[in-house]
Amino acid sequence: MAVLVGKSAPNFTAQAVVDGQIVENFSLEQYLGNKYVILFFYPKDFTFVCPTELHAFQEALPQFEERGVAVVGCSTDTEMSHWGWLQVPKAQGGIQGVTYPLVADTNKTISMAYDVLAGEYDVDEDGELITHGELIAYRGLFLIDKEGIVQHELVNNLPLGRSIAEAVRVVDALQHFEEHGEVCPMNWEKGKPAMSATHEGTASYLAGN
């Protein structure tokens, strides 16, 4: 699996649904120099674990927005599938009320670029395209800074939901480092002491904890 941390996030232009409206040419370029981005992939519309994650990101949207972070979801479903799922109330398993962009990676190229595409495809001896497993996205999550560089990535297998609290924590850690130049030790949270990236800084931090 390719690791994108420290590299430019693959850009894309695709159809998306934003606040209930279909957008023809959605791109990450709109955020460059302006916002951080949490880009997360999920397997399928109209499923079970996925709506819990999509609603959780919506509920946490104010936390991300106050940190200057745009949240963008993406799956291999079509934009019409996204739109249809948005019409279904939460109590019925839908995602009505989700306002952040949902990108339609219909031809799988975005998932491939971020290396989160489950399943494989090949060509058989007759020249026919064949697949092994469903070509859907794993639960990938990428934190992209304002310069378009991936600073954090996480990929879960299909049954394993993610932690919104951890996504917020990593944003806080990155912004603390950018502002103060201090690195963030294990389980660091906003408001807790960080440490300078020196042997003396490590010793001082450990002595105080």
* Residues marked as catalytic: 50
Contacts of 119 (CB under 8 A, 6+ apart): 131, 132, 133, 134, 135, 136
Nearest-10 Cα torsion for 82, 136, 10, 37: 50
Which amino acid does the sequence have at 185?
P
Length of the chain, in residues: 209
Radius of gyration over every alpha carbon of the chain, rounded to an integer in angstroms: 19
Residue 119, token pair as written in the block: 């399943």
Contact 174, 152 (CB under 8 A): yes
Residue 199, token pair as written in the block: 């042997």
Residue 167, token pair as written in the block: 């996504």
